[in-house]
Amino acid sequence: MALLNILHYPDPRLHKVAAPVTTFDAALQKQVDDMFETMHEAKGIGLAATQVNYHYRLLVIDVSEDKAEPLVVINPEFLKKDGETVYEEGCLSVPGVYDKVTRAERVTLRAQNAKGEFFELEADGLLAICLQHEVDHLDGKVFVEYLSEMKQNRIKTRMKKREKQNM
């Protein structure tokens, strides 16, 4: 397994729309394993392939306290979204930034696992929030784009400044 480089906002590659996964093989399983390792190392609960510059419709999630409930979601499609909730979100691609975002309270999702088998998942709470957040990444959207233009500009400035300091 290997740690992958996480892209940071406002990197334009974060806005690329991911293509469907069509091949379910050992290379895909390695990508899944590397993404879980990267997510855990970064202390995250979700990671979309777009965030590691792999532009296919793949995401990994584990919202459990003990990181014992890994979920692989490939080619996700929301079948239903219900209710509304506001949750303070953060993102591995926007380190140190947290803000409130309005999302659906409950979701029903159809997707494939790493073997290509289809499944449906009903989720609420943190899992529903995380699924919506990560699918947004696959669609080329970062959570800060739900915020006001003024907040977005401040975050862009802060991220660019941090990037220069890390060079």
Confidence of residue 162 (pLDDT cuts 50, 70, 90): confident
How much is the average pLDDT of 125-145?
A: 97
Residue 52: its pLDDT value, please?
A: 98
pLDDT at 13 over 90: yes
Active-site hit among 84, 89, 105, 134: 134
pLDDT at 69 over 80: yes
Q: Are 154 and 110 in contact (CB under 8 A)?
A: no
Query: Is residue 134 flagged as an active site residue?
Result: yes
pLDDT > 70 in the chain, percent:
99
In degrees rounded to 5, what are phi and psi of residue 137?
-55, -45
Q: Using one digit for the tens of pLDDT, what is the confidence trace for 29-52?
A: 999 999 999 999 999 999 999 999
The long-range contacts involving 58-66, CB below 8 angstroms and separated by at least 24 positions, are 58/18, 58/21, 58/28, 58/31, 58/32, 58/138, 59/134, 59/135, 59/137, 59/138, 60/32, 60/35, 60/36, 61/127, 61/130, 61/131, 61/134, 62/36, 63/126, 63/127, 63/130
Confidence of residue 136 (pLDDT cuts 50, 70, 90): very high
pLDDT at 1 over 80: no
Q: Using one digit for the tens of pLDDT, what is the confidence trace for 85-114?
A: 999 999 999 999 999 999 999 999 999 999
How much is the average pLDDT of 16-25?
A: 98
pLDDT > 90 in the chain, percent:
92
Residue 166: its pLDDT value, please?
A: 77
**For residue 74, what are the CA distances in angstroms to 29, 91, 92, 131?**
11, 20, 20, 11
133 is in an annotated binding site: yes
Q: Are 55 and 19 in contact (CB under 8 A)?
A: yes
Q: What average pLDDT does the chain have? A: 96
Residue 137: its pLDDT value, please?
A: 98
Which residue do the tokens 């890390």 mark?
166
Q: Using one digit for the tens of pLDDT, what is the confidence trace for 138-153?
A: 999 999 999 999 999 9
**pTM value?**
0.95
